[in-house]
A and B are shown apart, each in its own frame.
Chain A
């Protein structure tokens, strides 16, 4: 397949061995998540090992589109392995980051990197084109993520364009090496340590930074001077221009109304107004048309977007009457220490609630010495993070993550029941809500983490909700939205009906199945960025229809020369979803575990639990008496019994065993995964035929 470099780098840290895998061996999976899961399946004999185990394998995979002009798909990296973050089970899962890493890895000649074993002493890995070496990381251990990268640049950044005079054979580059590194949080093996790259790109949720810390791998650096062959270069440029001209924000056009997600939003909008404005530019990942991030005059908050840009806002605002630099400084702390901002975003409100109730503090039942008088200042975040990293006092408990800390304190049952502990899926921080945006919740609980896929969330929830809250009409009416969504989601043609009745229906099972398949392939394997895709609704077109499903295969085929239809991608996505399901089954998954945090069944979104995420109205499309309309659905809970019936509907749709939730041999063989069925069978995990 064009777009591939042909080689995957394989690093055995235990024996300090460097070898390669031919990409062609895994070509059928295309890239990213598909390849990562397939490689993990092949290399890890015992899938039930823990996250902090030498046998855990971490893959960091690119895509055929990385390094090309594919808009918002040219430099994301999919990270997989067994994660220490989920509660109570350490599931095999995924994370992803943007920036320059994936593109540079390919220019160096690799489609991905597989990390095995555990080094005896801290190492970093230096890749300059086909030269790969293990380096001593003792001088980097303890450094923040920014310092680490600068230190490595000072060692290998000098062979670039500006210095070399003999680039004849290997070429030259003006670019800095692209480095993925861990910070002190990863070194300390806390359960939510991130992998960081450049200033603000993080694979946060999943805690893979701490797995690298356990493996004694501080950083991996790529510098490449090569090039990527495309099947049809001219078509690639034309596909890019088509997408840009028709669907992207054009600088001469009016600023589009209505938000920050989707293909067509404006440059620099990714900080979600979480930072005060000043002198700033927009900044983006390699090849991105959207460029969602910013860099600032004092460099504070550089490249931070989404959760790390806003996680401290409300405290900052409460302390200062408005958003100040403290929010940006807090973001920098998470980026530099290499700690997942999402865990803090729900964790700090949890601690605050316990503190306010007198439960947590110097005199409370949970002893904690935190500078509450500094809440709202970045110093509070700094003090908290330091305690966690040093496992100092309450930090010892928190290093295990907030749900495990609550369990240790004997508070888990009580706090999860009323939502004080807002960690809704597998111990991941409540993000979007299973009670309202059910596809988010269902996808998360059927998987292994908070999905963090905004495909339906943006058009179905934010689009009408933001517009109504702003006193305006939604960008498009509910009927048109439903029509566009049905057209854009072949072959399932899903009906986005979020009414109380429909959320337990076969329609919703179809929608969730489509979503699992779309994201596993088009997003996590081809790696179209979640911040730009899907594009069901686009404010830049006359009729507000988006580029999904035409755009994804058009760009992909131009680069790869494959003759892939959108539906082929959904099919392959479903195959990957089945493979993941088999891995979870081998890890011990059973349908009975697929239950939301208790508050999901007992408390409505509307009641405004402080640490359980977005509160307020949730206007979403519903179909009532055959008519589509938007309705506030925040005043509901998930009905446990109906949800369990729905699970059966879903398993049957996927041809999984309704008793256990395990994939059947039929389901696996239909996806050409007979070898996977054999392994399930060998472990007594293959459902008996009825």
Chain B
């Protein structure tokens, strides 16, 4: 897994000469399209108080997904809901949330939920050379990809520090996608985004995904992986205690 976040110095730009993303990609594939990151307008470099690292401070997202991997049933309905709402197609590969599992493992190690964290210091945003991936002020500062601006360099995928990466390559339409908290769901007639509904949260049959507007602790998983199981869960013969 090459998480090589080395930045290139070249100033990126969206080809404005009518070059299509497909052509750009072809170029990239033969090594002709060297791109890198540069400063994106309106973003300041700040020190992360937690880590001391220099990183981009962008306005905090107004929403986050929390998950309970000990509650999840592995049905992947959330994944299919996500791809359906955004792409109008049912797919595991086009989902912006990923459920991984091994049926032969013991609970709770058999399932993991891998959701985008809407990081406060978002490496994906920082890596995007064209400003296609930004905190979108119109949608509660959710970190969102503007499909038209995405040149398909996949730097954001490489930059996401989590495994598997929480952004998704759409190989059918050739652009990078990431969780937008359902702010832009052309195939679902419901208001989404931080002030609306999220398809995965709505569809999950057991309530193993929750929306919150409070920033979770960024350090490790604890802020994002929470216990959503109650006494009733226990009455069903399912495990409700701490993992």
Check A288 against B205 for contact (C-beta < 8 Å): yes
A604-628 interface with B by 8 A CB criterion? none
Check B87 against A227 for contact (C-beta < 8 Å): yes
Check B236 against A290 for contact (C-beta < 8 Å): no
Check A287 against B110 for contact (C-beta < 8 Å): no
Interchain CA distance A167-B172 in the complex, whole Å: 11
Check B111 against A281 for contact (C-beta < 8 Å): yes
Q: Counting CB contacts under 8 A, is B85 at the interface?
A: yes
Stretch at the interface among A19-27, A235-243, A356-364, A653-661: A235-243
Q: How many interface residues does B have (CB within 8 Å)?
A: 66
Check A255 against B110 for contact (C-beta < 8 Å): no
Q: Which one of A67, A171, A298 contacts B106 once the chains associate, using CB atoms below 8 Å?
A: A298
A296 to chain B, nearest CB (A): 6
Q: Counting CB contacts under 8 A, is B49 at the interface?
A: no
**Per-position binary interface string of chain A over residues 54-91, scored 1 when its CB falls under 8 Å from any chain B CB and 0 otherwise:** 00000000000001110000100000000000000000
Chain A contacts for B165, CB-based, 8 A: 161
Residue of B nearest to A292 (CB): B73
Query: Are A68 and B107 also in contact (CB < 8 A) when A168-B25, A168-B171 are?
Result: no
The B contact surface, by secondary structure, is: loop
Query: Are A241 and B103 also in contact (CB < 8 A) when A234-B188, A268-B236, A279-B239 are?
Result: no
Q: Counting CB contacts under 8 A, is A226 at the interface?
A: yes
Stretch at the interface among B9-17, B90-98, B124-132, B215-223: B90-98
Interchain CA distance A267-B239 in the complex, whole Å: 12
Interchain CA distance A121-B188 in the complex, whole Å: 50
Q: Which one of B91, B110, B189, B237 contacts A299 once the chains associate, using CB atoms below 8 Å?
A: B110
Chain A contacts for B83, CB-based, 8 A: 227
Q: Counting CB contacts under 8 A, is A194 at the interface?
A: no
Check A286 against B105 for contact (C-beta < 8 Å): no
A280-299 interface with B by 8 A CB criterion? 280-291, 294-299
Interchain CA distance A200-B74 in the complex, whole Å: 14
Q: How many interface residues does A have (CB within 8 Å)?
A: 74
Q: Counting CB contacts under 8 A, is A669 at the interface?
A: no
Q: Counting CB contacts under 8 A, is A458 at the interface?
A: no
Query: Are A169 and B171 also in contact (CB < 8 A) when A69-B84, A281-B72 are?
Result: yes
Interchain CA distance A198-B199 in the complex, whole Å: 27
A335 to chain B, nearest CB (A): 10
Chain B contacts for A480, CB-based, 8 A: none
Check A174 against B114 for contact (C-beta < 8 Å): yes
Q: Which one of A103, A241, A298 contacts B202 once the chains associate, using CB atoms below 8 Å?
A: A241
B139-175 interface with A by 8 A CB criterion? 152, 154, 158, 163-165, 169, 171-172, 174
Interchain CA distance A100-B75 in the complex, whole Å: 9
Check B94 against A227 for contact (C-beta < 8 Å): yes
Residue of A nearest to B88 (CB): A233
Check B171 against A241 for contact (C-beta < 8 Å): no
Query: Are A283 and B73 also in contact (CB < 8 A) when A268-B236, A268-B237, A291-B205 are?
Result: yes
Chain B contacts for A273, CB-based, 8 A: 237
Q: Counting CB contacts under 8 A, is A598 at the interface?
A: no
Interchain CA distance A244-B75 in the complex, whole Å: 14
Interchain CA distance A162-B112 in the complex, whole Å: 14
Chain B contacts for A269, CB-based, 8 A: 236
Query: Are A291 and B75 also in contact (CB < 8 A) when A69-B81, A199-B103, A279-B107 are?
Result: yes
Residue of A nearest to B29 (CB): A168
Known: A234-B187, A236-B90. 8 other contacts (CB 8 A): A172-B93, A175-B92, A233-B188, A237-B81, A241-B202, A283-B75, A286-B80, A295-B110
Footprint of A on B, CB under 8 Å? 1-2, 25, 29, 70-77, 80-81, 83-85, 87-94, 98-108, 110-111, 114, 152, 154, 158, 163-165, 169, 171-172, 174, 187-189, 199, 202-203, 205-207, 230, 232-233, 235-239
